[in-house]
Amino acid sequence: MKHAIEISPPGISGYRAGNTGVDYVHVLDSGKPGPNVMVQALTHGNEFCGAIALDFLFKQGIKPMQGKLTLAFANVAAFARFDFDDPDRSRYIDEDYNRVWGDEALKGPRDSAELRRARELRPFVDAADYLLDLHSMHEPCRPIMVCGVSGKGGGKSVALSRRIGVPADLLLDTGHPAGLRMIERGAFGDPASPKTAVLIECGQHWEKGAADVAVDTLFRFLDATGAVNASICKSHLRLSPPGVQRVLRVTEAIVAKSRDFKFPYLFKGLEVIPKAGTVVVTDGGTTWKTPYDDCVMVMPSLAHVKPGTTVLRLGRYD
Q: Cα separation of 50 and 48, whole Å?
A: 5
> How far is the first Cα of the chain from the last one, in angstroms, to the nearest whole number?
32
Q: What is the mean pLDDT of the chain?
A: 95
What's the pLDDT tens digit per position in 13-70? Answer: 999 999 999 999 999 999 999 999 999 999 999 999 999 999 999 999 999 999 999 9
How many alpha carbons lie under 13 Å from residue 5 in its C-beta half-sphere? 12
Q: Note the pTM of the prediction, 2 decimals.
A: 0.95
Q: Measure CA 117 to chain center.
A: 17
Q: Which residues contact 310 (CB under 8 A, 6 or more apart)?
A: 176, 177, 178, 253, 254, 255, 256
137 in helix, strand or coil? Answer: strand
* Residue pair 75/50 in contact by the 8 Å Cβ criterion: no
Query: Does the pLDDT of residue 135 top 90, yes or no?
Result: yes
What's the pLDDT tens digit per position in 101-111? Answer: 999 999 999 99
**Full set of structural domains in the chain with CATH:** 13-235 (3.40.630.10), 250-317 (2.40.50)
Q: Cα separation of 37 and 195, whole Å?
A: 10
297 in helix, strand or coil? Answer: strand
Q: Cα separation of 173 and 186, whole Å?
A: 17
How is residue 177 annotated by DSSP?
T
Q: Cα separation of 206 and 15, whole Å?
A: 22
Query: Does the pLDDT of residue 1 top 70, yes or no?
Result: no
Q: Cα separation of 295 and 104, whole Å?
A: 35
Provide the pLDDT confidence category of residue 262 given band limits of 50, 70 and 90. confident
What are the counts of helices (DSSP H) followed by strands (DSSP E) for the chain?
7, 14
CA torsion angle 133 134 135 141 (round to 10): 120
* Residue pair 164/241 in contact by the 8 Å Cβ criterion: no
How is residue 300 annotated by DSSP?
-
28 in helix, strand or coil? Answer: strand
Give me the percent of the chain exceeding a pLDDT of 70: 99
Of 129, 146, 122, nearest to 25 (Cα)? 122
- For residue 102, count CB atoms less than 10 angstroms from its CB and return exposed for 0-12, middle for 13-18, buried for 19 or more: middle
Q: Cα separation of 111 and 36, whole Å?
A: 29
What's the pLDDT tens digit per position in 146-171? Answer: 999 988 889 999 999 999 999 999 99
Q: Cα separation of 44 and 93, whole Å?
A: 10
Each residue of 295-315: b (16+ CB within 10 Å) or e?
bbbbbbbbeeeeeebbbbbbb
Residue 19: Cβ within 10 Å count: 10
